[in-house]
A and B are shown apart, each in its own frame.
Chain A
Amino acid sequence: MNPPDEELFALAPEDAGDEPAPRADLKKRVIPDPPEIDQAKGRQTLGFLVVLALAAFVIMAAVGTFNTLADPYGMVGMKLLPSATTSDRTIKADAIEALKQPPQLVVLGSSRSMRYEPKYLEQKAGLRTFNAGVNGIGGTADAWAMTNFIHDTWPHAGPAYFWLLDVESFVPFKVQGRTANEPRLAQYVGGAGAGHSVRSVLRAVAQNRTTMFSWVTAKDSLRVILNRDQAKVKASKYRDNFLPDGMLKQRLWTEKEWARRFPKSVKRYGDLYRNVYKKLDPEAQSYFERTLKFMNDHGATPLIVLTPINPKLLKVLGPLGWPERHQQVVDYVASLEGKYDFVFVDITDMTKFGADPVQFYDGVHMATINTRRAIDYVLKQTGGIPK
C-alpha cells in the first residue's frame, strides 16, 4: 500500500481556510518528542553510562596501543618496526650515533647546507666533519636540537661549527614538525624525549594524542606491519641519498631540473615574503642565541655564514622585502657581537665568491661547484675555522 499521497503541504491543518484567529494558549506541539530513556530507570541509566564510557575507552585504548607499538611515523620512538615515513632528522640522528669517531667540525643549517661536503671541509680545514643540516625554512630550533644531540651523543667531542644561516632562518617560527616527530631531537624543543621508558613513551603518546588515537594512523600501522620488508626498502632508498658523514649526495645539475624547480622557489619564497615574513621572529632569535651561548659555553666560536640565493630569485624578492629582511638579519647578528663569540661572513652577494648563477638546482640550492667556491671564500676571509 502506498502511504497517503497528498501534495507536499496539503496535510497542514492551517491549510483549511483563511488566516486563523489569534489564540490565547500556546500552540500544542504536534511534532512528537524524540524517544528517550525511561526517567524512572535512574540506576540502570548510571550503569548504562558507565558501560558506554568503558566500551568507548576500550576501543580507543586498543587502537592507541596498536599505533604506539607499530609507531608508523616514528613519533614515539619504539623502533620495533620500520617507520612509514623516514625523515632526514632520523637519518642524521642515526648517522651521528653510528659515527666511529666524534666530529671535530659540524655543519649546521637548512637544506641549503646539505650539499656542503664534509670531505671538502676536512681537506681544507683539517677537521673531521659531519653535516648536520636538515630540511626546513626557519631552522634555528633544528640547529639548537642538533647541537645538543651531538653534544649528548659525543659529550667530549667539543666540535667547531660551520653554521650556514639563511636570511629566512628568522621567519615566524614553529618548531619543524619533523624535528618534533623525531624523539631524539624533539626532547630539546619541548617534545617527548628519546628512550623506551614507559614514562617517555606515555609522554610521547600524550603529546601526539590526536595522531596516535586515529584510524588513519591505525591504517598506516597496519601497512607498516604487513609491508615491513617493503617499508625497510623504501626507507633505505631514502637513506641511500645520504653519505655516512651526513651529506646529501651530489647530483648533476640539469636545465630540466632547474626549469621544473625554479618556479616553485619563486612561488614559495614569494608567498613567504608577501604574506609571512614581515619581521624577525623572536622565538627563532631566541633559539639562535641559545645555540650561540651553548656553543660558547662548550668552548666553540662558531663560524656563521649568511647564505646566498640565486640572482633571478633575488630580483623577484627584492620588491617584496628581501633587502630589508637581509639588513635586519645583518644588523641583528652584528648586535650580538659583544654578547657571544662568533665569526660572521655574509656571502649573500654571490659575486663575492664567484659563484656561477647557473649552478643552482632552484632558487636557493647551490650545486657542489658553488658550495666549494663558498667554502674557499669563507675560509680565506676568516683564515680558517675559528677555534
Chain B
Amino acid sequence: MFINSFGFLFLFLPLVVLLYWLIPRGHARLSFLIVASCVFYGLWDWRYIPLLFGTTLVDWAAGWAIVRSENQRRRKLLLAAAVAVNIGLLAYFKYRGFFFSSMDGLFKLMGMGEPLPMLRVLLPVGVSFYTFAAISYAVDVYRGMIRPAKSVIHYLAWATLFPYLLAGPIIRYGHVGEQLEHAQQRFRLSLIGSGLFFLVMGLAKKLLVADMMAPYVNDLFARHAHLGLLSGWGAALGYTLQLYFDFSGYSDMAVGVAFMIGLRFPQNFDSPYKAANPSDFWRRWHMSLSSWLRDYLFIPLGGSRGTTFMTVRNLLITFLLAGLWHGPAWTFVFWGLLWGVFQAVHVVARKKGFTPSWVWLNRLLTFLAATLAWVFFRATSMRSALDVLAAMFGLKGVRGGGTMPLAPVLAGFIIGGLLWVNFLPNTWEIKPQPKLRYALVLGLLLGASLLALSKPSPFLYFQF
C-alpha cells in the first residue's frame, strides 16, 4: 500500500488513528500498532513479514543479552553476532544479484565462459531502513546510550512502526522509545491538526511538484544519448529537485502520520540545497541516514580525530558504503565515492584556507556538486550518466541530437523549484497555527493533491 493512495489516506489511516486512540494505553494499544503495521507491510508483500520480524528481533535479543552480561568480551561478541546477522540478511536480499553480475562481468573480461547461476529474489521493501534501525538499537544498548526496550511489545511497536517502515526516515529507538513507553494518554485535536499540516505539505510536495516533474525527467534520462546543453541541465536540475520534493515529501508525510498517533519523529531534511559546503549538505539531507553513518560508521572508524589523511580515508569509506546502501549498482557506488571526494576536498581546502568566504558562492558550488552527483544516482548505467554529463558540459552542442528540447513546463518547475528551495522556509521552519489562512491554504493544497492522486506513483526511496 502506498502512503500516497486513496486506500491509505481514506481507509487505513483514519481507521488506525481512530482505533489507536480508542484502545486503552499500554500493551493493548502497542499490540494494535504492531498488527496495523503488519497489515500495512503485508499489503505490500506479506511474504516478507517473517523477515521483518526475524531481522529486528535479532537485535532485541542481542540487546536483552548485552545488558545482562558483565563480560565485556561477551557483550562485544553478542553485538558482533547481531550486526553480522543483519548485514548478512541485507547482503543476501539486496546485494547477491549485484555480486554475481559483477563477478560475471569480471569472468567475462578474463575470458571465462559460463555465466554464474542467478537466483532472483524480490527485494523486501524497506529492508535497508529497518535493518539499519535495528542495528542502531543493538549498538546503542551496547554503548549504554539507551535503555533496552521495556518489553518485546515496545520493541516491535517501534521496529515495525508503519509510518517509517517502507522508506524511512531511519528512526532509532532513542527517538521514539521513550514516547512509546510513556505514550500520550489523551487524544488531542492539535495532534490531528499538526499531523495534517505535515501530511498535506508532504502530499503537495510529492504530488504537485515531484510527480509533475517526473515524466519530463524520466523522458530526458531515457534519451540520454540525445541530450544537448539545455536538456542535459534540464535532466540534472529536474532530478535534483524532483528527488528532494519526493523524499522530503515522504518524510513530511511520515512525520504527519506519526503525529496523529501521538509520536514525534525527528527531522530528515533541513533545506539541504541551502547548504554552504558538502559537510553542511549532509547535515541537512536525509539527516537520519547521515547521522546513522556518523554514529555507527564514521566515528568508529576514527572520525576526524586523526590526521587529515585519516579523516579523508574515513570519509571515503563512509560515503562509499553510503552509496552501496542506496543500491546494488556501480552508479550508486560511484555516487557515494563522489561525495566522499567532495567531502575530502572540502576538508583539505578548509585546512589550507582555500574555501571561499562568500556564502552565495559556497552555496552555488555545493548545489552544483550535488546536482552533478545526482546524475550518477539517477542514471541507470555509468554510460548514461556520462552521456548526461557530456551534454551538461556542452560536449554535444546546445541542442544535442536535436530531438530533445527542454519542455517549458519542466523549465518552469525548475525555476520555481530553485526559488522554493533557496528562499522559502522548509516545513519544519513553519509553525502551524489554527488560523483561517493556514486552514484555507492547507485545504486547497489537500484538495489539489487529492486531485493529482488518480495515478499514485511510488516514492523514489521505496527502491532503497
Contacts and interface: CB of A to CB of B under 8 A. Distances in A.
Contact of B434 (A33, A47, A214): A47
A215 B451 contact: yes
B435 A48 contact: yes
A58 B445 CA distance: 12
Interface in A77-115: none
A213 B10 CA distance: 15
A218 B265 CA distance: 37
A34 B439 contact: no
Given A7-B347, A8-B279, A15 B434 contact: no
B178 A26 contact: yes
Contacts of B145: 20, 23, 27
A152 interface: no
Interface in B376-428: 428
A12 B198 contact: no
B117 to A, nearest CB: 24
A5 B454 contact: no
Interface stretch (A38-46, A155-163, A228-236, A350-358): A38-46
A222 interface: no
B389 to A, nearest CB: 25
Interface stretch (B43-51, B189-197, B242-250, B327-335): B189-197
Contact of A12 (B303, B346, B428, B443): B303
A27 B434 contact: no
Contacts of A24: 147
Contacts of A226: none
Interface residues of B, number: 78
Interface in B304-326: 304-305, 311, 315, 318
A8 B355 contact: no
Nearest to A210: B454
B193 A48 contact: yes
B350 interface: yes
A58 B304 CA distance: 56
A14 interface: yes
B83 interface: no
A59 interface: yes
A37 B299 contact: no
Interface in A207-242: 210-211, 213-218
A55 to B, nearest CB: 2
Nearest to B435: A48
A184 to B, nearest CB: 25
B174 A27 contact: yes
A22 B70 CA distance: 12
B438 interface: yes
B446 A56 contact: yes
B384 to A, nearest CB: 27
A35 to B, nearest CB: 5
Contacts of A266: none
B37 interface: no
A2 interface: yes
Given A48-B434, A55-B443, A14 B190 contact: no
A331 interface: no
A8 B197 contact: no
Nearest to B282: A8
B276 interface: yes
Nearest to A4: B280
Given A9-B298, A29-B174, A52 B442 contact: yes
A111 B445 CA distance: 45
Contacts of A59: 443-444, 447-448, 451
Contact of B190 (A34, A41, A54, A60): A41
B63 interface: no
Interface string A185-223: 000000000000000000000000011011111100000
Interface string A166-184: 0000000000000000000
B447 A48 contact: no
A42 B197 CA distance: 16
A34 B265 contact: yes
Contact of A27 (B146, B267, B435): B146
B146 A9 contact: no
A282 B25 CA distance: 50
A104 B184 CA distance: 75
A31 B175 contact: yes
Nearest to A41: B434
A48 B174 contact: no
B135 to A, nearest CB: 16
Most chain B CB neighbours (cut-off 10 Å) among A33, A37, A217: A37
18 contacts: A3-B276, A6-B279, A7-B279, A7-B304, A7-B315, A7-B346, A22-B143, A25-B147, A29-B174, A31-B267, A37-B197, A45-B190, A49-B439, A51-B440, A52-B439, A55-B443, A55-B444, A56-B443
Given A8-B318, A21-B144, A24-B147, 11 more contacts: A7-B315, A9-B293, A14-B299, A15-B303, A35-B431, A36-B190, A41-B434, A56-B443, A57-B443, A59-B447, A215-B448
Interface of A: 1-3, 5-12, 14-15, 19-27, 29, 31-39, 41-42, 44-60, 63, 210-211, 213-218
Q: Which 8 A-B pairs have the closest CB atoms?
A: A55-B443, A22-B144, A59-B447, A9-B294, A51-B439, A48-B434, A36-B194, A56-B447
